[in-house]
Chains A and B, each alone.
Chain A
């Protein structure tokens, strides 16, 4: 894995707060979707983000794509703040791949038009050049040239996801935000798409932010893994650290919930008693404490500080 330590993407203290209406005349309450997130993404690296629904990973993706403004904090691409930059500038450098290939392609457009849209919007080249580039990228993602005039509903889920990848890569962005790119696909297709993403990364020197709920996929691809819970990063470490020596009890529980195809091991008991808390009324202190098997008194009152242990960064009172 070749990646340098120069950050192409930096998040500094990103917060995103939504005001949620409590119903007529009851006013609004803040929902802290992202609470002080700071991350660096280095060139050529795959950063995996794992977490369950409601942990804020999709909000983070939207902020990185420039589709949403953070409430506070800044996003830096190559050391330059996103703030004040036009969407067009951002979109040349950051592109998304979405989860559901059925809703990410406009059903009324031909594949050729879908893939060439970025070129047309940015006014790059003439129609002949568009077609040449589209055919080139189709070949790269493993689709035959004849699909140019097809419509999305003529294609299978895997083929559609390849089209979505082609669209994201045609402008040669530096950073690709993969938001659960394979969780809507069958296993045999998932592996093809994952292989393709890895090949493209090497070939085009891409940097991936890989968001997933599937720890085994993230473990396989990522150079670094971030575990999120309720809008905060609770652990950040290389995958071998996360898997061999999970520090945070939540990481441990997540890891325990991964069902590998090994018979005879049964279904583990994750010991995560209470259900996922309502993000509008997050627990006091450490946000994980009501579900944590190792919770102590201090967890109820004080939020833990970030600790650096070897190559892991953890937010947990156990390590203070």
Chain B
């Protein structure tokens, strides 16, 4: 009788979580699309010095407002044309990707660290700690991000580092809120209690029992906040209070092109489209990560 049952037990174990994840990632088209686009943009940013046909800061007033290659008067020398100072637009766009990504990643690293620390502490310890963190979140939510950012940049002057710091210290609220509620959910699981009963330190419990189980939510929030930060930077730069010229920030490029909106519309359409594609792909990836990781272990 045992030989029959053993053969069943042998086959029993289903696919591992990793195999399931791999399968659902490969089946998720918009996740793959977003991820693919981001890989291309990151590569373009990293390889900008190699890919860029010209120096992005080199001015040549004699060729200013050269239209892109698909319009009358365009040439393959400047595929996306030149701006009001005659700088090569494609080169500026490639270098601009570096700035957008630096700001996105930098701001998320800062805000993610602050928000996750606060949120996990609040969710894990509850009680007083939770009250304090909730108070901090409320205070933060009552501050209008754009106005505060404008004020700080106006006082300290705009630079890449300051923009990253300002955004990093302003965008942690969503991390805190999401991490707090996910920690509360995981905290009540029996495996956390079991780790306590084994004698694990609180830090160990948070790092090895709780964090792996809320990582998916962290990634989703991180992608959304990254898109948020990049958009805010573009907005600040557009208002002249973000990254300062001559740095080729996409927001700055839109601002510089707005004067010629009716005569040379591609000047803002090209950086605008680049921003749109980057934000869209980040959001597609975030949504995809949420879809792929959410139903694990349920049903």
Asked whether any CB of A lies within 8 Å of a CB of B in the complex, the reply is yes
Q: A153 touching B193 by the CB < 8 A rule?
A: no
- Interface positions of B from 13 to 46, Cβ below 8 Å from A: 13-17
Closest residue of chain A to B191 (Cβ to Cβ) is A106
Q: Which residues of B contact A65 (CB under 8 A)?
A: 193, 196-197
Q: A121 touching B190 by the CB < 8 A rule?
A: no
- Interface positions of A from 85 to 105, Cβ below 8 Å from B: 86-88, 90-92, 94-96, 98-100, 102-105
Give the docked Cα–Cα distance between A99 and B213 (Å): 21
Interface presence of A154 (CB below 8 A):
yes
Q: B191 touching A104 by the CB < 8 A rule?
A: yes
Q: B199 touching A95 by the CB < 8 A rule?
A: no
Q: B194 touching A151 by the CB < 8 A rule?
A: no
Q: B296 touching A107 by the CB < 8 A rule?
A: yes
Q: B297 touching A67 by the CB < 8 A rule?
A: no
Pairs A–B under 8 Å by Cβ, sample size 30: A65-B196, A65-B197, A67-B196, A67-B197, A87-B196, A87-B199, A95-B198, A96-B193, A96-B194, A98-B190, A98-B193, A102-B297, A103-B189, A103-B190, A104-B191, A105-B191, A107-B297, A108-B212, A109-B212, A117-B198, A121-B198, A121-B199, A146-B13, A150-B16, A151-B17, A153-B296, A154-B15, A155-B13, A156-B12, A167-B198
Q: Which residues of A contact B189 (CB under 8 A)?
A: 103-104, 106
Closest residue of chain A to B195 (Cβ to Cβ) is A117
Given A104-B190, A144-B9, A153-B296: A95 touches B16 (CB 8 Å cut-off): no
Q: Give the contacting residue for B200; candidates A108, A121, A150, A156; CB below 8 A.
A: A121
Q: Which residues of B contact A51 (CB under 8 A)?
A: none
When each residue 64-98 of chain A gets 1 if its CB lies under 8 Å from chain B and 0 otherwise, what string results?
A: 01110000000000000000001110111011101
When each residue 150-168 of chain A gets 1 if its CB lies under 8 Å from chain B and 0 otherwise, what string results?
A: 1101111000000010010
Q: Give the contacting residue for B213; candidates A92, A106, A146; CB below 8 A.
A: A106
Q: B13 touching A154 by the CB < 8 A rule?
A: yes
Give the docked Cα–Cα distance between A91 and B198 (Å): 5
Q: A150 touching B197 by the CB < 8 A rule?
A: no
Q: Give the contacting residue for B197; candidates A96, A100, A103, A156; CB below 8 A.
A: A96
Q: A106 touching B13 by the CB < 8 A rule?
A: no
When each residue 186-219 of chain B gets 1 if its CB lies under 8 Å from chain A and 0 otherwise, what string results?
A: 0001110111111110001000110011000000
Closest residue of chain A to B209 (Cβ to Cβ) is A106
Q: Give the contacting residue for A91; candidates B12, B199, B212; CB below 8 A.
A: B199
When each residue 211-232 of chain B gets 1 if its CB lies under 8 Å from chain A and 0 otherwise, what string results?
A: 0110000000000000000000
Q: Which residues of A contact B13 (CB under 8 A)?
A: 146-147, 150, 154-155
Interface of A is mostly: loop
Smallest CB separation, B266 vs chain A (Å): 49
Interface presence of A249 (CB below 8 A):
no
Residues of A near any B CB (own CB < 8 A): 65-67, 86-88, 90-92, 94-96, 98-100, 102-109, 117-118, 121-122, 144, 146-147, 150-151, 153-156, 164, 167
Q: B16 touching A154 by the CB < 8 A rule?
A: yes
Q: Give the contacting residue for A153; candidates B191, B200, B297; CB below 8 A.
A: B297
Residue from B12, B17, B209 whose CB has the most chain A CB atoms within 10 Å: B17
Q: B297 touching A100 by the CB < 8 A rule?
A: no
Smallest CB separation, A87 vs chain B (Å): 5
Interface of B is mostly: helix
Closest residue of chain B to A89 (Cβ to Cβ) is B199
Smallest CB separation, B15 vs chain A (Å): 7
Given A105-B191, A106-B191, A108-B212: A122 touches B199 (CB 8 Å cut-off): yes
Smallest CB separation, A184 vs chain B (Å): 11
Nearest 6 Cβ contacts at the A-B interface: A104-B190, A108-B212, A88-B199, A91-B199, A98-B190, A106-B191
Give the docked Cα–Cα distance between A75 and B185 (Å): 30
Q: Which residues of B contact A147 (CB under 8 A)?
A: 13
Q: A86 touching B199 by the CB < 8 A rule?
A: yes
Q: B190 touching A90 by the CB < 8 A rule?
A: no
Give the docked Cα–Cα distance between A106 and B191 (Å): 6
Q: A153 touching B17 by the CB < 8 A rule?
A: yes
Smallest CB separation, B213 vs chain A (Å): 6
Q: Which residues of A contact B200 (CB under 8 A)?
A: 117, 121
Q: B197 touching A95 by the CB < 8 A rule?
A: yes
Give the docked Cα–Cα distance between A160 and B204 (Å): 23
Give the docked Cα–Cα distance between A66 and B198 (Å): 10
Q: B213 touching A108 by the CB < 8 A rule?
A: yes
Closest residue of chain B to A167 (Cβ to Cβ) is B194
Smallest CB separation, B128 vs chain A (Å): 14
Given A150-B16, A153-B296: A103 touches B191 (CB 8 Å cut-off): yes
Q: B16 touching A151 by the CB < 8 A rule?
A: yes
Smallest CB separation, B159 vs chain A (Å): 41
Give the docked Cα–Cα distance between A88 and B17 (Å): 32
Q: A104 touching B16 by the CB < 8 A rule?
A: no
Closest residue of chain A to B215 (Cβ to Cβ) is A108
Q: Which residues of B contact A106 (CB under 8 A)?
A: 189, 191, 209, 212-213
Give the docked Cα–Cα distance between A311 and B208 (Å): 48
Smallest CB separation, B208 vs chain A (Å): 8
Q: Which residues of B contact A144 (CB under 8 A)?
A: 9
Give the docked Cα–Cα distance between A108 and B208 (Å): 9
Residue from A99, A103, A150 whose CB has the most chain B CB atoms within 10 Å: A103
Q: Which residues of B contact A67 (CB under 8 A)?
A: 193, 196-197
Q: A107 touching B193 by the CB < 8 A rule?
A: no
Q: Which residues of B contact A100 (CB under 8 A)?
A: 190
